[in-house]
Amino acid sequence: MNILVINSGSSSIKYQLFRMPSGQTISSGLVERIGLENSVITHKIYRDGEEAVRNKTTSIADHRPHGSKQAAN
């Protein structure tokens, strides 16, 4: 059995996939700057004691309709 853990914030998502019952991490990742230019995706895969990392910078839309403005704090 595998368990996926997700931590979702206002402009980022972190995730980690575990193999159970050992608790071994299979993969993990982070999506930062959601809804902003130059969003960053980092995905890590763990296999045979090695860590493979993939990074990508792109624009990732958020839940707001296209063209709407972000509310001021």
Q: What is the pLDDT of residues 7-16, one digit of tens each?
A: 999 899 999 9
**Tokens matching residue 22:** 């050992």
Q: How far apart are CA 71 and CA 57, in angstroms?
A: 25
Specify which residues 57 forms β-bridges with. Answer: 40
CB 63 within 8 A of CB 71: no
pLDDT in tens, 33-70: 999 889 999 999 999 989 999 999 998 888 877 655 55
How many whole angstroms separate alpha carbon 31 and alpha carbon 58? 10
Q: Give the pTM.
A: 0.79
CB 26 within 8 A of CB 17: yes
